[in-house]
Structure 1
Amino acid sequence: MTLRPRRSALYMPGANARALDKARTLAADVLILDLEDAVAPDAKEQARAQVLASVHEGGYGSRELVIRTNGLDTEWGHADLAAAALSGADAVLIPKVDSAEGVRLADRVLRAAGAPDSLRLWVMMETPRAMLAAGEIAGASARLECLVMGTSDLTKDLNALPTRDRLPMVTSLGLCLLAARAYGLTALDGVHVDLDDADGLAASCRQGRELGFDGKTLIHPKQLDAANTAFAPTSEEVARARRIIDAHASAVAEGKGITLVDGKLVEALHVETARRVVALGEVVGIS
């Protein structure tokens, strides 16, 4: 069982050459090289060229490289997507997708531009329509791999308040998680925008993991440690997972379907979860 960790997904401004270079040294599982929100209109062409050059140059190690394009309804979107198709990036992230047809359109543009099957498609879930269509979006393309929450835009569209407990987001987060799990996709939580609120970031990461997200999108390198810690198992969790696997195997060998570990019932479904915990722990160096 192998997993690709996506505990931390850091947005990097595509127009900032120094940031793209620094990203090679950061402890991020995923780097989202951004051509959209982080880039002013008059810098879009330059940003696209810089991002393509950086990806081609390499040096990012095992970090997953994702290019966030401008929307296909903008003057830059199609050119961004066509350029990303043969860039060598791992995935392309499309903003403000609110229907299954939006996913299929992006897939068609990638295929027309010669994108290999290995180039994955990620989509931003950041509008009320996207929440209502989450299931259709998640099942729209075999190339689709990840749903990324855009909670800042969603908060604005809902006329909601950015509360510490994120109660206004719970319904939307749940809908997207259900859709992702139904179709075997990764789900990444939205950003925490207050860079001076370390406690709030930690709480948001903890809540995201408790809900079931695979990781969190971030806007600054100082947020990496919190996400990497929250979305990785602890050594104690890995140890308990190994006990669950061993105890269940012993029970099965004795003709039993269930057993107890630390006083709690263990059956096959718990073993599946335990194996995932062990696999993730091994990938991120926790044993």
Structure 2
Amino acid sequence: MGPALLFCPADRPERYGKAAERADAVILDLEDAVAPDAKRDARGHVASSRLDPARTIVRIGALGTADADADLAALAATEYTTVMVPKAEDPMALRALADRGYAVIGLCETAAGVVAAAELAAVPGVVALMWGAEDLVASMGGTSSRDARGQYRAVVQHARATVHLAAAARGVASIDAVHLDIADEAGLAEEASDAAALGFAATACIHPSQVAVVRRAHAPGTDQLAWAERVLAAAKGERGVFSFDGVMVDEPVLRHARAILRRVVPR
């Protein structure tokens, strides 16, 4: 998965192919990106599309709603098997979906969903968790996820960390939230770099221009890559803890180096 996942409104089929070409995976969005009166046609567009199932995710409506039922009925006519569940809160609901053969991405974007993140990540068939800031703040009666400096407020940062820790504890991937300010490439780069450093598998994008920024941010820099290769090469001649460039190196440091190398994606 990842590092750049691109949302595409499901009622814009002319964009499907371009989104799939530009990103590492495309998220066909049947939920918030589609107006209520356009959902029926959007489902038809998804059902008739022929994207690579291995790189296609479909965001359905919230489970327990008529929209979700209709979305899943449309998916039955496709080869798409990875679904993103918005406002995920109920582990049993995700389990029922996984039992139908779907790989499930739980989107923790409400206060209840964030609190339940560990339980959601533990459900067999859940392959990833993602978090969302705006719905989360709305679920708490708030009005803004960011402060005057453009930084996430403390409770939002806590939610991000909670979802990421829950996913990591269960060995499933975690996906960082979208950056809504499309023109703010510097802010997106900073957040995506932080996500990569913390071990997020991917960052979600809402515009094609964000894909390249996210890919650069998740990829290791030249100096970082050179350090990882050198320290791992040095470790082959050592037993236990050793000193490298004046810094103590033990197994956690070597694991950091291996993680850097895993972030190199051939293109």
The residue that corresponds to 2:151 in the other structure is: 165
**Whole-angstrom distance in 1 between the partners of 2:28 and 2:125:** 19
Give the structure 2 partner of residue 69 of structure 1.
60
Assess, with a 3 A threshold, how the Cα gap between structure 1 residues 148 and 101 changes in structure 2: closer, same or farther.
Answer: same
Distance 2:5 2:244 in 1: 35
State yes or no: 1:209 paired with 2:196.
yes
Match runs of 1:193-232 below 5 Å: 193-232=180-219
Identity of aligned residues (%): 31
Is 1:96–2:87 an aligned residue pair? yes
Q: Equivalent residue of 2:134, what SS?
A: helix
Report if the CA contact (8 A) 1:31-1:63 is conserved: no
1:190 maps onto 2:177 in alignment: yes
Q: Structure 1 segments of 4 or more deviating over 6 A?
A: none
Deviations, residues 161-211 of structure 1 (Å, cap 9, x unaligned): 332221331110111111001000111111111122222222322333344
Point out the more displaced range, 84-93 or 127-136: 84-93
Residue type of the alignment partner of 1:48: R
Matched-pair contact (CA < 8 Å) for 2:60–2:86: yes
| 2:66 counterpart SS class | coil
Which of 21, 31, 44 is matched with 1:25 structurally? 21
* SS of alignment partner, residue 229 of structure 1: helix
The answer to whether the aligner puts 1:147 opposite 2:142 as a matched pair is no
2:3 corresponds, among 4, 7, 19, to 7
Partner in structure 2 of residue 138 of structure 1: 121
- What corresponds to 2:30 in structure 1? 35
Q: Tell me how far apart the structure 1 counterparts of residues 219 and 54 of structure 2 sit (CA, whole Å).
A: 16
Q: 1:104 to 1:24 in 2, by over 3 A?
A: closer
Do the aligned partners of 2:196 and 2:218 also contact (CA within 8 Å) in 1?
yes
Counting only pairs closer than 5 Å after superposition, residues 42-53 of structure 1 correspond to structure 2 as: 42-53=37-48
Runs of 5+ consecutive residues of structure 1 not aligned to the other structure: none
Structure 2 CA distance for partners of 1:235 and 1:174, relative to 1, 3 Å: same
1:271 aligned residue: 254
Q: 1:160 to 1:213 in 2, by over 3 A?
A: farther
Alpha-carbon distance change, 42 to 160 in structure 1, aligned in 2, over 3 angstroms? closer
Shift of 1:279: 2.7
In structure 1, give the amino acid aligned to 2:182: L
Q: 1:36: Cα distance to partner?
A: 0.6
Partners of 1:89 and 1:241 in 2: CA distance: 37
> 2:98 corresponds to which residue?
107
Structure 2: which 5+ residue stretches go unaligned? none
What's the offset of the Cα at 1:99? 2.4
Q: Choose between structure 1 and 2 for higher RCO, CA contacts under 8 A separated by at least 6 residues.
A: 1
Give a deviation string over 1:30-64, Cα, whole Å, max 9, x none. 2101111111112212111212322xx23x5x972
Contact 2:8–2:206 (Cα < 8 Å) also in 1: yes
Report the AA paired with residue 150 of structure 1.
Answer: G
In structure 2, the CA distance between the partners of 1:207 and 1:279, relative to structure 1 (3 Å rule), is closer
- Paired with 2:186 and 2:54, the residues of 1 have a C-alpha distance of 27
- 2:76 and 2:237 mapped to 1: Cα distance? 49
**Aligned letter for 1:47?**
A
**What is the aligned-residue RMSD (CA, Å)?**
2.0
Contact 1:247 1:259 in 2 (8 A): no
**Counterpart Cα distance in 2 of 1:185 and 1:86:** 28
Which residue in the other structure is 2:69 paired with?
A: 78
Q: Distance in 1 between matches of 2:74 and 2:230?
A: 49
Is 1:258 aligned to 2:253, yes or no? Answer: no
Tell me the SS of whatever aligns to 1:250. coil
Specify the code of the residue in structure 2 equivalent to 1:187. Answer: S
Separation in structure 1 between the aligned mates of residue 166 and residue 10 of structure 2, nearest angstrom: 30
Q: CA deviation at 1:269?
A: 2.3
SS in 2 for 1:92: strand
Bigger mean CA deviation after superposition, 241-250 or 178-187:
241-250
Are residues 148 and 170 of structure 1, via their aligned partners in 2, closer, same or farther at CA, if it must alter by over 3 Å? Answer: same
